[in-house]
Structure 1
Amino acid sequence: MQKTIILSLLLALSVQSYSQSRQKDKQSKTQSREKTTFQTSNPWKPVTDLRADVAIVYSVKDHHGKGNMSFEERVQSWRDKGYTTHFMTGIAWGEYQDYFTGAWDGEQHLDEGQVTQKGDTLWHGHMVPYIVPSANFIKYMKEKVIKRVIDAGIDAIFLEEPEFWARSGYSGAFKSEWKAYYGFDWRPQHESPENTYLSNKLKYHLYYRALNECFTYAKEYGKSKGMNIRCYVPTHSLVNYSQWMIVSPEASLASLPCVDGYIAQVWTGTSREPNYFNGQMKERVFETAFLEYGSMESMTEPTGRKMFFLTDPIEDWPRDWVDYKKNYQATFTAQLLYPKIADYEVMPWPDRIYEGYYRTSANSDRKEQIPRFYSTQMQVMINTLNNMPESGNKVSGSQGIGVLMANSLMFQRFPVHQGYEDPQLSNFYGQALPLLKRGIPVKTVHIENVSYPQTWKDLKILIMSYSNMKPMDKAAHDHIAEWVKNGGVLVYCGRDEDAFQRVQEWWNTNGNTFKAPSEHLFLKLGVKEPFNGGEYIYGKGKVYILRSDPKEFVLKANNDEAFVNTIKTLYETGSTEKLEYKNHFTLTRGPYELISVVDENSSLSPYIMTGRFIDLFDPEIPVLHEKQVRPGEQAFLYNISRVKNPKTPQVLAAAARVYQEKVTKSTYSFVAKSALNTTNVMRILLPVKATKIEVTDAAGKTLPVESSWDAGSKTCFLKFENNPEGVHVKLSW
């Protein structure tokens, strides 16, 4: 009897162990499929079936979007089609009318909107104000939104766009938060630089608090149900929020235990914001996108948080399809030039992309839904992301130059005080664009992350200025000084004349009497008053002070040479490596080749690549032996010579996702799935030309197909109409 009990216990433990192992395997497989995502407020529809790994269902509001379904029914509609489901909603705005109108707690809360000096509430939609996130609103988010989502079985929550407009800060709700935070009565931000700084620090704190509390609750509630809840922040880049005069917690969230990662919300709409270079203000979409994605990567890389990169084939502002295509290619290339990021939101809002009407050209008022050439190209591009590898390769060009950023970049943008202006964030771009436009892949460094050793890895020169931001914590200077002492080179650019140098902060309170925070840093670096421009030695490293504000390098034509020559001299001193000037950026990621050629460069030469490539920006995906990329253009190529297992039949490029592949000695078959009303093109590697091509729908009906054979690359080209239920393809030889 005792023996039987022991055997039963051992069997039970074995079964439990096996069950736990299977559960871990299942969870691991589920999370390994979370490489590509998209967000939608609508239920599944055949015309928006993208075949990414994850459908992020937006908003808990019932009957939201099309379909007249509850939130849970919308979620289930995507699960039924094989998608992993996550959840997203706004943290600064959303369909929270039950909160604002009093349906939730019996009290109206429309007075909790963000309000400007004129008394205007900033609205995101009808009865949807941008929110001052009070403790009561946070309670609502926990009880009405987060709890319901977790109860629906969702284990990944995205609270997007924690945005506090710099021009707001005049509501009763904000004044109450001011008194609670600072301990004294509210002060109008327009009356002094110090008031502005205090106002924006509070805005920053309020969303830091909101996300910290909401995510901490989500993890705790999930744990009580045996779930591991992951929490992400979809947010614009620090570059964009600073330029658009919005305050957000940004980099500080990357160190919170309850934050698992971000979505980098970078797209044409953010990257086309004009900036200055060589005295000219204009759109520089590729360069701005490159800096935006870079600021998102450097925000999280030292902290080990997950990062999804987003692109959008269109944008919020209505334009024409040709414009969308050109700028989509620029932002798409920019994101792929960061080889350590390999997770993507392939698009937001597929309904507006596939079903929206936009102009056919810049000079026409005629509108149409997405043209087949564009939807085909777009689907080829997003399907590469399902296979896009991480890579140890680096983008071409001289490595190791960084520009320092801080969350306080957002604090000084509005309003202007004492006449000191920073047009279009030129004090930031003045440090980056003169190098980027010369083909130097400058990176960004976040002052919030200087305590992490990873922040300093491979960094040779750090460029910084306090003309447009201020250090919120003096401890950052200890880490910067230590890096210089160990051999780093610091280039400080700034007159230190802006009005924010004199706000009441740590550098001029509690016994400190510095006129500017840079003076505290300079003393740490062994530089003595009067802190004149020039070169100084500190330990094994150097400090070079340029007494010019960075904006001066870009607001006037041909005014950046002294700055660039200084960087060149410092980069090359004591090194065999030269600072390379060029007009292009290239990167190889597995079989994929990325190329971008910049304009406004002394070289007007195209970049020429030879070999055997599939052109992934061409909806006909032709095989090329040479690709020329001119200034202002980008290219995305599949390098056929880099195919793994070239003797194995395989799909190299397609405007659909491939499933159920089967290979025999004389056949290759698979199922292709993508959105209805779109055209699939495929280039398939085969050992020899196919003698028979069978293309059928799910019911076995033969479908029309175009085909051709490229003998040089041994690839078969197919073209047929997509179907989310699956198109069955069998090639025989």
Structure 2
Amino acid sequence: MKFKSIIYSILGGLFFASCSSSEPAEKVVPEKREKTAFQTSNPWKPVTDVRADVAIVYSVRDHHRNNGMTFEERVQSWRDKGYITHFMTGIAWGEYQDYFTGKWDGESHLDEGQVTQRGDTIWHGRMVPYIVPSKNFIKYIKETQIKRVIDAGIDAIFLEEPEFWARAGYSEAFKREWKEYYGFDWRPQHESPENTYLSNKLKYHLYYRALDECFSYAKEYGKSKGMDVRCYVPTHSLVNYSQWQIVSPEASLASLPSVDGYIAQVWTGTSRTPNYFDGKQKERVFETAYLEYGSMESMTAPTGRKMFFLTDPIEDWPRDWVDYKKNYQATFTAQLLYPNIADYEVMPWPDRIYEGLYKTSADSDKKEQIPRFYSTQMQVMINSLNSMPLSDNKLSGSEGISVLMANSLMFQRLPTHQGYEDPSFSNFYGQTLPFLKRGVPVKTMHLENVSYPETWKDTKVLIMSYSNMKPADPKGHEYIAEWVKGGGVLVYAGRDIDPFQSVQEWWNTGENQYKTASEHLFELLDIQSSGESGEYKYGAGTVYIIRQDPKEFVLEAGQDNEFVGIVKQLYEETAKAGELVYKNNFYLERGAYDLISVLDESVSDEPFVQKGRLIDLFDPKLPVLNEKTVLPGEQAYLLNVNRIEHQDKPQVLAAASRVYDEVTTRSSYSFITKSPLNTTNVMRVLLPDTPKEWHVFDHQGNVLNGTSWEWDEASKTGLLGFENDPEGIKVDIKW
């Protein structure tokens, strides 16, 4: 049923100024919150007015590309549009040319870049090296970055990507830090496993120290000005850093009192990194994203720190819009499958998303800005995050299987020693993908967090290996042994033959003379040091040792069956956790939202069919469906109208814009909606009765031309479409 808008400009002005009805009105006043955010180095522009809660303003540098605007002026431009403003800059790289050239303190610091064995500096951009964070550099960050932004009234600081490349470690600055930290002269990391381990432990320490000192200063300086400054670390996942051969503090930061939380930097660019499963190496974007987000959630959940999940409608590497859309849907679905996280960075760098030029298809050289269908879909998706609820619901599948991780996963990736290889981080994926691909929602657990009781919640079977990581201290083994003794089931998979078993560490120095790290754990579990394959009892619990490295389960086809079978038997018969169900999909009911992902390379090729009154949020036309079929390798994001609360209350169910100033009476519903310029809005509006008339006005009160309206009686929803305006569009509906 279609209605034509009645053109009354004067009346439109009255509509925009106040509710058009004399009936008592209920006005919804939005709460001030920091649930959604985005980051940008630019001032406010109408074409990038994303309408999240927070604009994270990047870099203090006053740059010519911002029309000479100062940092403070850029911040104010976003505040003037109603945004909460935070600050972000890189801790491992950034536009710190004044530091490297000597302008800041009169001394050149170009020798503080990260340097490879060949003597090459690793650059992030022109005159922007990756940094060895010396004490002097930390002083520079405090004085020139942190102090300035707090003086500008910023009370949330994000120091992103504390990254030290595994292939680095040869600069003069690093050699100086080595001598100070270890008390003996620097040793080239390529010469032995022990040197590599020592080198990476130092890289880890340097960024731990940098963040600790910078954040402690921020909080102290903030207090001196009567401010409560919060400090966050935007960081890639431990999965990604390990695979990309980067060292970063990761999980240990969660125990620092100066760290308030993280942004999980997961997106297509990280998740498309190829891995092995069933003998095939290829991109598995959804599965990798699921594991990346999971490692970030499990890293922080026991500590109570805040976590923002990030995903990106494009990626750093130039590709085509079709590729971006497909993989954005995969990563977006993966992040929403963690119902205990409901804070999001909805996008980074809106300028490159809305104004960048990318290929129209993989086989074409033609480039264009983001297509309207994709910007509409993307805006529907990111605006839904403003109302995404926390949920106690569980992801479908057999719960209770966890895989142990540790920060030392980053220490053994490069260089290779004694011919021991771990292709594409397969010792990790060999423990996780065999279950994930069978529809089992496997979780990760961090060795650094085993002292927290919350860490062990819901874990029935713990899988671990020291083929690609090592324990930082013996205390973690005590907590694992205590859990097993109380009835836990531990599966240890590993040959313990990698060259890092013999590095000089706590398990083979002083009173400890264990040949491998696992021998200490086995001793606590009353298992002889040889730890031959088989099942062992300890207290009320069970240990099963598999003398294979996990990479062997995925590097060749069909080699994971025995491993999976052992875990299945232990899960069902020993842990008494119920049946370990195999399937080819994941489903989560989260408020009114349905999240679905169907796996390829799984136990079947059956599609997943969801029925109901469903709005397809991956379709820019927001159709109302009676059922949705999802094929293997695909995901779906649906709004189930049947689960909408207060169905007799008028409300916007989904929109490519953000809704403000809602006013409801017995027979009318009005609101203002905003979104970036040069984008097309589509809205699905739920009403208690068939509408008699509808009106749409621009921010000056003029009737908006080119609007469309369709009524769907079955769902009691109207589909409204028009061109967006960040200044606001007024919608008034009567029934």
TM-score normalized by the length of structure 2: 0.95
C-alpha separation between the residues in 1 aligned to 2:66 and 2:321?
25
C-alpha separation between the residues in 1 aligned to 2:249 and 2:379?
34
* Map 1:146-545 → 2, pairs under 5 A: 146-545=146-545
Contact 2:582 2:603 in 1 (8 A): no
Matching residue of 1:684: 685
C-alpha separation between the residues in 2 aligned to 1:43 and 1:260?
26
Q: How many residues are aligned here?
A: 705
Question: Secondary structure at 1:270's aligned position in 2?
Answer: helix
Whichever residue aligns with residue 477 of structure 2, its letter is H
Contact 1:101 1:110 in 2 (8 A): yes
Contact 1:232 1:261 in 2 (8 A): yes
Q: 1:585 to 1:65 in 2, by over 3 A?
A: farther
C-alpha separation between the residues in 1 aligned to 2:153 and 2:83?
13
Matching residue of 1:4: none
Question: Secondary structure at 1:324's aligned position in 2?
Answer: helix
Question: Secondary structure at 2:387's aligned position in 1?
Answer: coil
C-alpha separation between the residues in 2 aligned to 1:603 and 1:32?
47
C-alpha separation between the residues in 2 aligned to 1:690 and 1:104?
65
Question: Secondary structure at 2:157's aligned position in 1?
Answer: strand
C-alpha separation between the residues in 1 aligned to 2:729 and 2:510?
72
Whichever residue aligns with residue 601 of structure 1, its letter is S
Question: Secondary structure at 2:184's aligned position in 1?
Answer: coil
Deviation per CA, 1:620-677: give whole Å up to 9, x if none: 0000000000000000000000111100000000000000101111111000100000
Whichever residue aligns with residue 265 of structure 1, its letter is Q
Question: Secondary structure at 2:432's aligned position in 1?
Answer: helix
C-alpha separation between the residues in 2 aligned to 1:341 and 1:126?
37
Backbone CA RMSD of aligned residues: 1.0
Question: Secondary structure at 1:573's aligned position in 2?
Answer: helix
Q: 1:254 to 1:576 in 2, by over 3 A?
A: closer
C-alpha separation between the residues in 1 aligned to 2:660 and 2:281?
48
Deviation per CA, 1:62-81: give whole Å up to 9, x if none: 12643320000000000000
Question: Secondary structure at 2:554's aligned position in 1?
Answer: helix
Contact 1:427 1:549 in 2 (8 A): yes
Matching residue of 1:711: 713
Matching residue of 2:648: 647
Deviation per CA, 1:668-697: give whole Å up to 9, x if none: 100010000000000000112212110010
C-alpha separation between the residues in 2 aligned to 1:597 and 1:67?
48
**Alpha-carbon shift at residue 504 of structure 1 (Å):** 0.3
**Alpha-carbon shift at residue 322 of structure 1 (Å):** 0.3
C-alpha separation between the residues in 2 aligned to 1:240 and 1:296?
11
Q: 1:84 to 1:230 in 2, by over 3 A?
A: same
Matching residue of 2:19: none
Whichever residue aligns with residue 721 of structure 1, its letter is E
**Alpha-carbon shift at residue 473 of structure 1 (Å):** 1.0
Whichever residue aligns with residue 313 of structure 2, its letter is P
C-alpha separation between the residues in 2 aligned to 1:30 and 1:678?
24
Matching residue of 2:733: 731
C-alpha separation between the residues in 2 aligned to 1:117 and 1:599?
41
Question: Secondary structure at 1:612's aligned position in 2?
Answer: strand
Deviation per CA, 1:34-88: give whole Å up to 9, x if none: 0000000000000000100000000000126433200000000000000000000
Q: Note the residue ranges of structure 2 that are not aligned, 5 or more in a row.
A: 1-28
Whichever residue aligns with residue 349 of structure 1, its letter is W
* Map 1:540-551 → 2, pairs under 5 A: 540-551=540-551
Question: Secondary structure at 1:323's aligned position in 2?
Answer: helix
Contact 2:30 2:660 in 1 (8 A): no
Identity percentage of aligned residues: 75
Whichever residue aligns with residue 456 of structure 1, its letter is W
**Alpha-carbon shift at residue 577 of structure 1 (Å):** 1.0
C-alpha separation between the residues in 2 aligned to 1:422 and 1:217?
40
Matching residue of 1:618: 619
C-alpha separation between the residues in 1 aligned to 2:469 and 2:436?
21
> With CA pairs under 8 Å and 6+ residues apart, which has the higher RCO, 1 or 2?
2
C-alpha separation between the residues in 2 aligned to 1:729 and 1:495?
66
Contact 1:41 1:64 in 2 (8 A): no
Contact 1:662 1:668 in 2 (8 A): yes
Question: Secondary structure at 1:386's aligned position in 2?
Answer: helix
Contact 1:404 1:445 in 2 (8 A): yes
* Map 1:559-570 → 2, pairs under 5 A: 559-570=559-570
**Alpha-carbon shift at residue 528 of structure 1 (Å):** 1.4
Matching residue of 1:605: 606
Whichever residue aligns with residue 646 of structure 1, its letter is Q
Q: 1:560 to 1:308 in 2, by over 3 A?
A: same
Contact 1:619 1:681 in 2 (8 A): yes
Whichever residue aligns with residue 286 of structure 2, its letter is F
Moved over 2 A (4+): 29-32, 63-68
Question: Secondary structure at 1:729's aligned position in 2?
Answer: strand
TM-score normalized by the length of structure 1: 0.96
C-alpha separation between the residues in 2 aligned to 1:196 and 1:576?
41
Question: Secondary structure at 1:555's aligned position in 2?
Answer: coil
Contact 1:583 1:597 in 2 (8 A): yes
Q: Note the residue ranges of structure 1 that are not aligned, 5 or more in a row.
A: 1-28
Matching residue of 1:12: none
* Map 1:90-109 → 2, pairs under 5 A: 90-109=90-109
Contact 1:42 1:64 in 2 (8 A): no
Contact 1:610 1:625 in 2 (8 A): yes
**Alpha-carbon shift at residue 603 of structure 1 (Å):** 0.5
C-alpha separation between the residues in 2 aligned to 1:563 and 1:499?
24
Whichever residue aligns with residue 161 of structure 1, its letter is E
Contact 1:42 1:67 in 2 (8 A): no
C-alpha separation between the residues in 2 aligned to 1:427 and 1:479?
23
Whichever residue aligns with residue 248 of structure 2, its letter is S
Question: Secondary structure at 2:105's aligned position in 1?
Answer: coil
Question: Secondary structure at 2:140's aligned position in 1?
Answer: helix
**Alpha-carbon shift at residue 30 of structure 1 (Å):** 11
C-alpha separation between the residues in 2 aligned to 1:58 and 1:533?
53
Question: Secondary structure at 2:63's aligned position in 1?
Answer: coil
**Alpha-carbon shift at residue 531 of structure 1 (Å):** 1.1
**Alpha-carbon shift at residue 512 of structure 1 (Å):** 1.0
C-alpha separation between the residues in 1 aligned to 2:587 and 2:547?
34
Whichever residue aligns with residue 691 of structure 2, its letter is A
**Alpha-carbon shift at residue 576 of structure 1 (Å):** 6.5
Q: 1:103 to 1:529 in 2, by over 3 A?
A: closer
Question: Secondary structure at 1:57's aligned position in 2?
Answer: strand
Is 1:660 the counterpart of 2:650 in the alignment? Answer: no
Matching residue of 1:720: 722
Contact 1:39 1:347 in 2 (8 A): yes
Matching residue of 2:26: none
C-alpha separation between the residues in 1 aligned to 2:387 and 2:733?
23
C-alpha separation between the residues in 2 aligned to 1:685 and 1:180?
66
Deviation per CA, 1:248-303: give whole Å up to 9, x if none: 00000000000000000000000000000000000000000000000000000001
Matching residue of 1:24: none
Contact 1:41 1:65 in 2 (8 A): no
